[in-house]
Chains A and B, each alone.
Chain A
Amino acid sequence: MRAALFVLMLSACGTAAPPAEPLVDLGDVPLDPGPAVTSRLSRAQYAASVEALFGSGITLSVALEPDTRVDGLAALGAGISATSPSGVEEYEVASYEVATQALSPERREAWMPCVPAATVDEDCARVTLASLARRAWRRPVTDGEVDALVAVTSGAASTLNDFWGGLEYGIAAVLQSPYFLYRPEIGEADPNGGRRRTSFELATRLSYLITDGPPDSALLDAAEAGELDTTEGLEAQARRLIASPEARRGMRAWLTDVLKLDALDHLDKDPELFPNISATLGASAREETLRLGEYVAFDKDTDLRTLLTTRTTFVDRELAAVYRVQAPSLDAFAQIELPAKGERRGLLGQVSFLASHSHSTATSATLRGQAIRESLLCSPLPPPPAGVNTSIPATDAERPTLRDRVTAHLADPSCASCHTRMDLIGLPLENFDAIGRWRDDEAGYPIDASGTLDGVDFRGLSEMADLLAADPMLTDCLVLQVVRRALGRAPGDGEDEMVDALRARFDQQDARLQPLWLDLVRSPMFRRLESP
């Protein structure tokens, strides 16, 4: 299977020719479906969900509990992590802050369906909360559920002698509900046998996959009308969302998760060694990578592997200074082309990657190599065995460069078994210092940028980018990272064949994100659930 994929990939890569083999029909692929996942909203999804309800610009004084990574992805952590007592407290505080702002005179008219006629106006409260809860909980609501919200609202309105004050409590209940904070998946019997996600669960999963936000009214209406019961109906909604501006947000969330771009909030570099470091460099570096992602996946709708090989990028003044190129704009990001013959290309040549996976004072071939293995090749390495001396020799006249020191360390077979897989794809990046500036030498000694990727020797980032782009492990990993985020869990054994089929189709369709999203949504894996 691997060999066949490799050949397919080579033939398809970089060409627009129609695929030689017909695309496999996903409906024909054997599938033993996996479990439902009740994901908790990420911080970003919480913000997007609030914005969908009440419009943009709502702020919080409290930071919600941080997202938890499991097996490298926050999307996996969201499916199994619990909310701590302090996290529940933060949800409570946030709910009132959102409610107060949502009911400000300038904002409430935009989303409220009625104007209250009295301090206690149960009809207006009912209409408002019924429509709000349906959108917030992404499903139809029962009369009993709305009654309870109205009772809270009316009770508070009479205590406070204020309709708006009362409604704050009703809104707070909507926002503190687990139906808002989590995306519960209960499932239902599938008329064709087994179990499946309900229409509303499908709508929710689809929407957070493509837009990292909640289903809009059109999607909820389609679910309510039964349109998502057919693959065609589901696909039509997926196509609509992919064509919407919010799809870029979904891609950004995926890329942020896979590449751990959130870590750029805490870029810790020695300012004496790196005068370019600033409080905003990390955020700029993240934006560069995300803009490149938008350019590849949307503006060009092209091969995701281009992310590694392109010389197009997007810089502001800070990044232009690091890359030593003319700043294209004084106060904004702008597209540039890096020198065609230079070593710097693709996201491995960006500050976001090079600086994140370095120490505060020096580069680390190991951290860089480890990140490539884990995020891009989906083959994380085990931690070092206990009790081994993990030191590398100090810098001295015999070993002036990092390569000299790492090489001495690689002579130990117990280290070498893993470290060759990391260090020999990290050392080729040694021309880029710990924040990503180019350097010709390390403390006066010339840098040897040779490396080895799974038995193939090469020199420098530019050659490595081509090798990685042609590596079937990269292609397989890109698909797996999208599937993990889509399902909120790793695919199970019974889903392996479906994932392989998605990989084959991804290859045949020029490794583009949009067809992969569509294939995934159309695949029975997206709808069907294991039987209890």
Chain B
Amino acid sequence: MKPLSRRQVLRGMLGSALITVPLPFLPSLGRRGQARAAEGVFPTRFGNFNWGNGMVPEHWTPATTGAGWAPSRLLAPLARHTDVLSVVSGYEVKVPNISPHTSGKFGFLTGIDPNRGSGDGTYALGPTFDQIIAAAIGGTTPFRSIECGVTSEQVISWNGPNAGNPTQADPAALFRRLFGDSFRPPGSDAPPDPKLALRQSVLDVVTGHLGTLKGQLGRDDATRLEQHLDGIREIERRIAQLQLPTPALDACVPPTVEPSNPAAFKERHAVMTDLMVTALACDQTRVFTYVFSEHNNNWVYDGLKDGHHRMTHDELGDQPGVQECVLQIMEQLALFLDALRAVPEGDGTLLDHCALLCSSDVSLGRLHALDEFPTMIAGGANGALRTGIHVRSEVGASAAAIPLTLMRAVGVRAASFGEDDCMETESIGELEA
């Protein structure tokens, strides 16, 4: 088989989201993945926990590598999770650092320089890798992926250029989407709602219109309508699933009351954490992006007098105020991990069956720096990943190896990740179990 170019692969993915990504197959990994799937009862999930404005590398990187790493000053709030958390340090996002924050964020998550060609850095030029994972493992749950978090002004997850997946930051709206009228509790064999077939008949009409119109418009508009069709197919898939009995899930305790929408960001984070973790426990989705905070955000953290982003640029010296922001973000991440670990699944916890990437858009915010890019991976991806280690590149290796490692760990047959200087074919062996 002639290997497909990356571009062909992406185009194929955008064109038909339900078809497995036709990436060249690595036999050794494939066999391992299949073996694991036969053993494991619980599905593997992938998540991206993102925060804005980076960190301070000098106080971030643990002193020792390998197992048993001791928390650095900034990672101290995560001390209770070091056994399930691997730190990956010293890697660099290899894109021209043109757009502050988004060169790093989109460059890391897509492996493509967002300023290449016609790009202006305001949007991603390819799908973020959560969507590549969603195309591969998201097709059996009601939602292929969920994008939610504490703030919704920026788009973190993309299907391609000008095709973002907006973040849902309203807990009530997310509740209605996940657990509203159409939610089918685990273990349900109630007869299908006759209205589902009626909704499908409407979608048939809409699909016909999209098909006709696609043939009448130019190529770019046809692509947009094809993306709209992807959304229609997602609804159709869900309608089909809602007519089937659902398996029992001991860990699923769906909420019954619509949550409030607290104004304070830490309180909203608590409510959204509950919803997102419950969605995973109830197998509503296996792929998610969780936006804790965004780049350029000027949230004023407890005990501080100034906004986060502004301090990253204006605070001098060792930036104690910025460090305090990072510490409080890590405290909130620790709470998110607490929630994932609190859900029992078999002999382990929900987190054991997750690969949760924790990252940002820059390392040192003051310089919008892309070396020493901050990344951590929580959870062992059903045994595919080693946890509790610190892996460090002393040579500033390409950070594209991290998405590649994660994609392979959750079962995507990816030969490479990224383009141009970001192109990476080798995953990080130390992280692989």
Contact = CB atoms under 8 A, between A and B. Distances in A.
B162 A392 contact: no
B205 A394 contact: no
Given A89-B231, A152-B201, A152-B205, A391 B97 contact: no
Nearest to A35: B218
Interface in A158-212: 159-160, 169, 172-173, 176-179, 182, 184, 186
B166 A84 contact: yes
A325 interface: no
B166 A87 contact: yes
Nearest to B225: A178
A156 B243 CA distance: 18
A179 B212 CA distance: 11
B224 interface: yes
A359 B216 contact: no
Given A81-B162, A155-B201, A184 B103 contact: no
A392 B307 contact: no
Contacts of B99: 383
A415 B160 CA distance: 33
Interface string A147-161: 011011001100110
Contact of B144 (A38, A85, A148, A173): A85
A70 B378 CA distance: 35
Given A80-B162, A176-B206, A360-B300, A92 B228 contact: no
A172 B202 CA distance: 7
Interface residues of A, number: 62
Interface residues of B, number: 71
A457 interface: no
B182 to A, nearest CB: 10
A394 B319 CA distance: 11
Interface string B200-240: 01110110111001001110110111011011101100000
Interface stretch (A49-57, A58-66, A223-231): A58-66
A82 interface: yes
B202 A173 contact: yes
Contacts of B241: none
B210 A178 contact: yes
A387 interface: yes
Contacts of A172: 202
Contacts of B205: 148-149, 152, 173, 177
A88 interface: yes
Given A65-B166, A88-B228, A386 B97 contact: yes
Interface stretch (B3-11, B56-64, B309-317, B347-355): B309-317
A233 interface: no
Interface in A340-376: 359-362
Contacts of A66: 152, 166
A186 B216 contact: yes
A388 B159 contact: no
Interface stretch (B244-252, B366-374, B415-423): B366-374
B206 A63 contact: no
Contacts of B177: 86, 89
A360 B307 contact: yes
A152 B313 contact: no
A384 B102 CA distance: 13
Contacts of A36: 218
A159 B162 contact: no
Given A148-B208, A383-B100, A361 B300 contact: yes
A82 B313 contact: no
B159 A82 contact: yes
A35 B17 CA distance: 29
B121 interface: yes
Interface in B299-345: 299-300, 305-307, 310, 313-316
B235 A89 contact: yes
B194 A83 contact: no
A86 B197 CA distance: 20
B363 to A, nearest CB: 12
Contacts of A87: 166, 231
A393 interface: yes
A178 B206 contact: yes
Interface in B69-106: 96-100, 103
Contact of B298 (A84, A86, A182, A359): A359
Contacts of A159: 194, 197-198
A63 B159 CA distance: 21
A125 to B, nearest CB: 14
A300 interface: no
Contact of B367 (A148, A179, A359, A389): A389
Interface string A58-101: 00011101101011000001001111111111001001000000
A213 to B, nearest CB: 22
B176 A85 contact: no
Contacts of B361: none
B164 A68 contact: yes
A387 B97 CA distance: 7
B202 A86 contact: no
A85 B306 contact: no
Interface string B266-309: 00000000000000000000000000000000111000011100
Nearest to B163: A82
B300 A391 contact: no
Interface string B165-201: 1101010010011000000000000000011011101
A155 B209 CA distance: 19
Contact of A82 (B194, B224, B370): B224
Contacts of A387: 97, 367-369
Interface string B96-124: 11111001000000000000000011100
Nearest to B194: A159
Nearest to A392: B314
A85 B230 contact: yes
A38 B221 contact: yes
A65 B173 CA distance: 12
A359 B307 contact: yes
A360 B309 CA distance: 11
Given A178-B210, A394-B316, A184 B217 contact: yes
Contacts of B368: 384, 386-387, 390
Contact of B164 (A84, A156, A360, A362): A84
B202 A179 contact: no
28 contacts: A62-B173, A62-B176, A66-B166, A82-B224, A82-B228, A83-B228, A84-B164, A85-B17, A85-B144, A87-B166, A151-B201, A152-B205, A155-B198, A155-B201, A160-B198, A176-B206, A177-B206, A178-B228, A179-B213, A268-B299, A361-B306, A386-B96, A386-B103, A386-B370, A387-B97, A387-B369, A390-B313, A394-B315
Given A88-B228, A361-B300, 10 more contacts: A70-B162, A84-B165, A84-B166, A92-B203, A155-B201, A176-B206, A178-B209, A266-B153, A360-B300, A392-B313
The 5 closest A-B pairs by CB, nearest first: A88-B231, A386-B97, A82-B163, A82-B227, A85-B231
